[in-house]
Amino acid sequence: DQYNQAIALFGNNANSEMASFLLGEIERQDLDFSTKRRIVDALGNSGSGQEALYHHIKKGKMPEDLLLASAVKLLNCWNSAIRSEAPAILASIPEANLGKEPDIFTISRKTGNETLGKEVFVANCSNCHQIDNQGIRFGPDLSEIGDKLSKRGLYQAILYPSAGISFGFEGVNITLNSGDVYQGYIESRTDDGLQLRIQSGQSVAINNTDIKDILEIEQSLMTEGLFRTFSEQDLIDLVSYLETLTKDQVTL
């Protein structure tokens, strides 16, 4: 609906004032949890939004049921100081899955539930990836990912996204003269400016004269440690679903 579209638009393009407004929305008693979670996800997709989440957590204002999702967003924060502190913040949250990362060799021998895996995908992955033109176009299209990666390859991509960043999806942080910060990947350049794909799925035109600085991001734009927000069984189910996404059988 229009409210959720506004969340995505404002969150992914948040300045400090808009981020403050959206954090106020999180504290509304009449707003359902899923909408509040979408606000956190949207804020986590912009530099100003990430900083706002960080300060809200440090001040003890973040609702407990949103702490984990908020902390995970900080793992990819454009601000290196916040990014360095993110693991400690995550470790302080009881619900975080802080055990050893799953052993790929072991879990690759397990079979999950494709139907439940589809639910995991919709809840956690469709806000950045498309399948058969459904979902948000930001990360690589996964419509035929089952043809491209083995089961172990799928686990590798989820657990260690920065180990193999797809060509054309290298991330950048762009700071404007206004102070606003955009995060995404450059789709195209001209003599006058560039087109930046941001995590809302929008393509933003930025003039060279408005750019103060462009900083290349070494890690993947896919959130590191995202698997810590769900169980090992969820991960197994997710991979079982992704394996079915082949040229002959695509369904979201």
pLDDT tens digits for range 15-48: 777 888 888 888 888 888 888 888 888 788 777 8
Give the predicted TM-score (pTM) of the model.
0.71
**Residue with more model confidence, 141 or 32:** 141
Give the bridge partners for 175, in sequence order: 181, 213
* DSSP string for 129-195: -EETTEE-SSS---TTHHHHS-HHHHHHHHH-GGGSPPTT--EEEEEETTS-EEEEEEEEE-SSEEE
User: Does the structure show a pLDDT above 90 at 197?
Assistant: yes
Burial of 37 (0-12, 13-18, 19+ CB in 10 A): middle
How many residues does this entry show for the chain?
Answer: 252
Q: Tokens 């360095």 map to which residue?
A: 84
Contact 53, 223 (CB under 8 A): no
Query: Average of pLDDT values for 63-90?
Result: 83
Instruction: Determine the Cα–Cα distance for residues 47 and 43; give it in Å rounded to an integer.
Output: 8
User: What residue type is assigned to position 117 of the chain?
Assistant: G
Which is higher by pLDDT, 101 or 217?
217
Q: Does domain 171-216 have CATH number 2.60.120.10?
A: no
Residues of the chain with CATH 1.10.760.10: 104-163+226-243
The residues of the chain that CATH labels 2.30.30.100 are 171-216
Q: What is the mean pLDDT of residues 64-92?
A: 83
Say which range, 12-21, 26-35, 47-56, 158-167, has the weakest mean pLDDT.
12-21
Concatenated DSSP letters for 200-235? TS-EEEEEGGGEEEEEE-SS-SSPTTGGGGS-HHHH
Helix (H, G, I), strand (E, B) or coil at 59: coil
Q: For domain 104-163+226-243, is the CATH number 2.30.30.790? A: no
**Ramachandran bin of 114, using left for φ above 0, alpha for ψ from -120 to 50, beta for the remaining angles:** alpha
